[in-house]
Amino acid sequence: MSPVIGFARGLPGHSAADPGFRYAWLEAPLAARLGNLEEVRDWADVKAWPSGRIFGESGEYRWQLEKQGIHAVLLLESGPLPPDFTSPLDLEPLRADSHLVLWGDWVDPDLDPEGNPHLGPRFYAREIPEIQTYPIDLGEKPASDASPRLVTRLYREISGANGEFLRCVTIHMKRDEEKEDA
């Protein structure tokens, strides 16, 4: 099956479907969070997180709380969509995945043992005056020219009549000279 997208309006809560997403990007009026879904246990609390997305290799679920309930969009790499999601559109990828560079340089524990005592995925940028922790499995000290990247994928509805759709796929480290995946 090809990738498919659909939407739902006025949901009283999040859809019960669990496509096995790995990441959460959550937004509130005075807060934002990007993390591993298993660590962000309150992601479904729409009072805490009135908008956001959960995503992974298999697709993306995006929502916005409105007066009438949750407006949600679900894009899956392979359908079918759950019954809550109507007006399905078949999609085709437009190009190779893109890599959006995230803010910050890795906090090297050799230089700042208090800022990163456990060799974790912690990054600092002067533009954001606090440490950013991204959901990246480092395993070892990253290369000095590597940066955290949000991988995105662009789709078009097969007939071309309904525009383009961009979704998040994964988060990883990538060296600057590495070529984009074809």
- pLDDT value for 150: 96
Profile the chain (182 residues) by mean pLDDT over runs of 10 residues.
91 80 95 91 93 96 96 92 90 93 93 91 89 90 92 92 92 79 46
Structural domain boundaries enclosing 59: 4-90
pTM: 0.89
Spatial distance between the Cα atoms of 105 and 131, rounded to a whole number of angstroms: 10
How many Cβ atoms sit within 10 Å of the Cβ of residue 32? 12
Residue 145 resides in a domain: no
Number of domains observed in the structure of the chain: 1
- The pLDDT, as a whole number, for residue 179 is 58
pLDDT score of 182: 42
80 belongs to a structural domain: yes
